[in-house]
């Protein structure tokens, strides 16, 4: 029998009935008010884009029908502040408790902590749950209580720990509360998720390929496990056609539980092991690794909350990014003159989705060939991706830019022509998205500038007229990249000398026309909350300076708490499959991270005098051994084609 509690269930990115810990707890203990609050003013920098908002609207409609069938309508509220809306809900139904599932990005952590403190001060019980991860970020630390800064070491530690893979059962019935009539509610259409008729007509195309909603997510998962999982490794080499899981947008809005995914995939892994199917086992392991990368993206954002605006490796603060808006525009529009890059960017703009391999290729081109600031690329991906995910996008762009200890080697330059021959050998993908090259023979399609004039004439290609010449030639890109790295190390050395004189050297990104990113400070958390609750900072009203803190596991977290300001953003789409025909493939926003055993520990400045500064936070990163990059070109190089990496021109004075 349900208890006597009157509980507000605050839905966010957990739009499902099955395996929803917050909903299950509320249903077990009494009457329930399910509520979703849309507060555009609070989204600020992370305001979702068009296609992402379309997905949200469709998913909410799907969830509303499911909740109605269980006996409880979903209350939708458009508000100026989330706190005011929750207070309205609490007072209207005389609620005794508010429950929700955790989020891990810096903006949500700050907002959730503020709301929790306000409601607790009013005597209202607040309880939060893990509905998004296999492991909470504050559960995984090394033997010294320090945060991992390489994926492999993090994931190895995770695999040593037990995983609770028994999903929470979906409630079969919900008891509604009285007092809903006192609420100022909104219809789905009046939430304003589609802001114009033009958006509505554009979004109509998305519904032909995608089917948002938690039940559709479960169908997609079942279809992938039955028909796509065992070929995941082999199909991942293709950028055209159906090659991956299509689960990323469902995961973004929490329409499917990561625990459920893990459980089904692990069952296949055990089956493959028993049958001795090594090839299928490799595919399963690769897919589980992609789940691990998603976990790691949350882990990094939680433990290093500045990574949405600064690189993890502090020496990158001196990197001379080229704030060239014309080149940035050419990259966005798919007019760089490199067919595979242009095809990827045009697909991204047209559909809001593109294969993970293409995401790696186009982002690498932006930061290595064009020297475009990685924060610009991350912002653009957030604007246009249907499955745009803050934490995953941060991990991907920092990795590609060489901002992580196990990321791409800073001097690595991948050749788009070679990548095209590897991942699109017949030119099918390029012809689909670049009609100007539709009649180019496969031999020349990835480097039309080398084709004889007779071939170009027959194909109807006039370079510089209906298709651009390369925006920068490979040898020039190589030279500019080497010069940029050399400049970075020179500035890094100059900073270390300047620090001896008490000077402060700013981050180069701070001088670039950028996007209004939230500014954060650090405070220390004393975990007095129950084990299941979100580990969040306490707010004592003081804006503390960024100070070196030692991460000491569950009992002493360091986390970002104060968001000073925010602005506005936009986003776009992906494509879903049916059980019969999976029309597109999606591996999510997470970029593949290389196999690398090196680790970097985060310690206080007083503990370890050497190392790299991590931005202005005064964290010290112990210098990582980078030889894994030299020996293997990492896992991603197996996917990204031949590179033209050279030894960087690092001055001897900055060695060590």
- 64-80 pLDDT, tens digit per residue, is 999 999 999 999 999 99
Within this chain, do residues 353 and 458 fall inside the same structural domain, yes or no? Answer: yes
Is 232 annotated to bind a ligand? Reply is yes
Note the pLDDT of residue 505.
57
Last residue of a domain, one of 441, 460, 478: 478
Query: Binding site annotation covers 31?
Result: no
Let me know if residue 543 belongs to a domain: no
500 marked as part of a ligand binding site:
no
Select the more confidently predicted residue: 447 or 636.
447
Q: How far apart are CA 145 and CA 557, in angstroms?
A: 10
What are the φ and ψ backbone dihedral angles of 621, each rounded to 5 degrees? -100, 120
Comparing 546 with 477, the larger pLDDT belongs to: 477
Instruction: Calculate mean pLDDT across residues 637-651.
Output: 42
Rg over CA atoms, the chain? 25
Residues 36, 119: one domain?
yes
Residue 315 has pLDDT above 90, yes or no: no
SS3 of residue 79 by DSSP? coil
| Residue 99 φ/ψ, nearest 5 degrees | -125, 150
Which residues 6+ apart lie within 8 Å of 138 measured at CB? 302, 527, 535, 553, 554, 557
**Separation of alpha carbons 359 and 341, rounded Å:** 9
Say if residue 334 is in the same domain as residue 415: yes
pLDDT on residue 244 = 76
Count of Cβ atoms closer than 10 Å to residue 452 Cβ: 9
- Full domain range(s) for residue 232: 133-164+214-304
- The pair of structure tokens assigned to 44 is 């600020």
Please tell me whether 247 is known to bind a ligand: yes
DSSP for residue 137: G
Q: What is the mean pLDDT of residues 16-32?
A: 94
Token pair of 584 as six digits: 């597109």
Give dist(CA 619, CA 304) in Å, integer.
Answer: 10
Confidence of residue 36 (pLDDT cuts 50, 70, 90): very high
Residue 387 among known ligand-binding residues: yes
Determine, yes or no, domain membership for 358.
yes
376/463 same-domain check:
yes
Q: Of 258, 273, 304, which residue is a domain's last?
A: 304
Supply the pLDDT for residue 17: 96
Residue 389 and residue 460 in one domain: yes
Report residue 230's pLDDT band, with 50, 70 and 90 as the boundaries.
confident
Q: Is residue 622 part of a domain?
A: no
Output the domain CATH number for residue 103. 3.40.50.620
Residues 126 and 138 reside in one and the same domain? no
> Which CATH number does the domain housing residue 436 bear?
1.10.579.10
Tokens standing for residue 65: 């029908």
pLDDT of 332: 96
Q: Is 287 annotated as a binding residue?
A: yes
141 annotated to a ligand binding site? no
C-beta of residue 379 within 8 angstroms of C-beta of residue 388? no
Can you tell me the distance from the alpha carbon of 68 to that of 174, in angstroms, rounded to the nearest whole number? 9
Q: What percent of the chain has pLDDT over 70?
A: 75
Whether 549 is covered by a domain: the verdict is no
Sheet strand arrangement including 619-621? 602-603, 619-621, 612-614
Q: Are residues 142 and 103 both part of a single domain?
A: no
Query: Does a structural domain hold residue 387?
Result: yes
Is it the case that residue 63 has pLDDT exceeding 90? yes
Query: How much is the average pLDDT of 448-465?
Result: 95
pLDDT for the residue 270 = 87
482 is in an annotated binding site: no
Known binding residue 244? Answer is yes
Question: What are the tens digits of pLDDT across the range 598-630?
Answer: 333 333 333 332 232 233 332 223 333 333 333
Output the pLDDT for position 534: 60
Out of 435, 455, 478, pick the residue that ends a domain. Answer: 478
Structurally, the chain folds into a number of domains equal to 3
Please tell me the predicted confidence (pLDDT) of residue 499.
76
Mean pLDDT over 391-408 rounds to 92
| Rounded-to-integer distance, Cα 504 and Cα 361, Å | 36
Higher confidence at residue 639 or residue 449? Answer: 449
Higher-pLDDT residue of 6, 233: 6
Distance CA 633, CA 130 (A): 36
Would you say residue 47 lies in a domain?
yes
Share the mean pLDDT of the chain.
Answer: 78
Same domain, 40 and 149: no
Lowest model confidence (mean pLDDT) among 168-172, 212-216, 490-494: 168-172
Question: Is residue 540 part of an annotated ligand binding site?
Answer: no
pLDDT score for 5: 85
């Amino acid at each position: 029998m349900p208890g006597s509690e009157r509980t507000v269930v605050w839905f966010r990115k957990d739009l499902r009935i099955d395996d929803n810990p917050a909903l299950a707890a509320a249903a077990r203990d009494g009457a329930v008010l399910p509520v979703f609050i849309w507060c555009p003013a609070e989204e600020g920098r992370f305001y979702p884009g068009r296609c992402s908002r379309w997905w949200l609207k469709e998913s909410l409609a799907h969830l509303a029908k499911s909740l109605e069938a269980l006996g409880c309508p979903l209350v939708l509220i458009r508000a100026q502040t989330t706190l005011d809306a929750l207070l309205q809900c609490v007072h209207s139904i005389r609620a005794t408790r508010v429950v929700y599932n955790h989020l891990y990005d810096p903006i949500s952590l700050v907002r959730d902590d503020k709301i929790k403190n306000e409601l607790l001060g009013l005597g209202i019980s607040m309880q939060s749950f893990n509905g998004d991860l296999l492991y909470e970020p504050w559960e995984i630390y090394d033997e010294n209580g320090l945060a991992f800064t390489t994926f492999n070491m993090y994931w190895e530690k995770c695999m040593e720990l037990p995983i609770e893979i028994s999903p929470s059962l979906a409630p079969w019935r919900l008891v509604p509360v009285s007092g809903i009539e006192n609420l100022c509610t909104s219809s789905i259409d009046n939430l304003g998720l589609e802001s114009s008729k033009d958006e509505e007509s554009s979004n109509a195309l998305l519904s032909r390929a995608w089917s948002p909603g938690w039940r559709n997510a479960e169908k997609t998962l079942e279809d992938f496990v039955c028909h796509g999982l065992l070929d995941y490794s082999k199909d991942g080499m293709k950028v055209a056609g159906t090659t991956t899981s299509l689960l990323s947008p469902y995961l973004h809005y929490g329409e499917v539980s990561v625990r459920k995914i893990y459980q089904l995939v692990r069952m296949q892994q055990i089956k493959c092991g028993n049958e001795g199917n090594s090839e299928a086992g490799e595919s399963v392991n690769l897919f589980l690794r992609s789940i691990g990368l998603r976990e790691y993206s949350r882990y990094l954002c939680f433990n290093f909350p500045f990574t949405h605006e600064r690189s993890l490796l502090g020496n990158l603060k001196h990197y001379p990014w080229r704030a060239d808006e014309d080149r940035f525009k050419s990259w966005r529009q798919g007019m760089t003159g490199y067919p595979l890059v242009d095809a990827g960017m045009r697909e991204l703009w047209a559909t809001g989705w593109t294969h993970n391999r293409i995401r790696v290729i186009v982002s690498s081109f932006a930061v290595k060939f064009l020297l475009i600031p990685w924060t610009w690329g991350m912002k653009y991906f957030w604007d246009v991706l249907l499955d745009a995910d803050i934490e995953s996008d941060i991990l991907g762009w920092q990795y590609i830019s060489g901002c992580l200890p196990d990321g791409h080697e800073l001097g690595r330059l991948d050749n788009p022509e070679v990548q095209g021959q590897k991942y699109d050998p017949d030119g099918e993908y390029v012809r689909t998205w670049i009609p100007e090259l539709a009649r180019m023979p496969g031999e020349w399609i990835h480097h039309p500038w080398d084709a004889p004039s007779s071939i170009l004439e027959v194909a109807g290609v006039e370079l510089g007229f209906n298709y651009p010449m390369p925006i920068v030639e490979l040898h020039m890109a190589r030279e500019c990249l080497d010069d940029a790295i050399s400049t970075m190390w020179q500035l890094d050395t100059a900073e270390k000398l300047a620090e001896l004189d008490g000077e402060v050297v700013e981050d180069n990104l701070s001088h670039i026309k950028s996007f209004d990113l939230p500014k954060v400070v650090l405070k220390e958390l004393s975990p007095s909350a129950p084990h299941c609750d979100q580990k969040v900072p306490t707010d004592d009203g003081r804006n503390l300076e960024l100070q070196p803190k030692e991460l000491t596991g569950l009992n002493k977290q360091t986390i970002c708490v104060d968001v000073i300001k925010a602005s506005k953003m936009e986003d776009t789409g992906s494509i879903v499959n049916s059980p019969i025909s999976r029309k597109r493939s999606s591996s999510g926003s997470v970029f593949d991270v290389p196999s690398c055993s090196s680790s970097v520990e985060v310690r206080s400045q007083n503990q370890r005098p050497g190392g790299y500064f991590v931005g202005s936070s005064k964290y010290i990163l112990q210098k990582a051994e980078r030889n894994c990059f030299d020996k293997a070109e990492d896992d991603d190089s197996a996917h990204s084609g031949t590179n033209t990496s050279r030894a960087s021109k690092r001055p001897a004075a900055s060695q060590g």
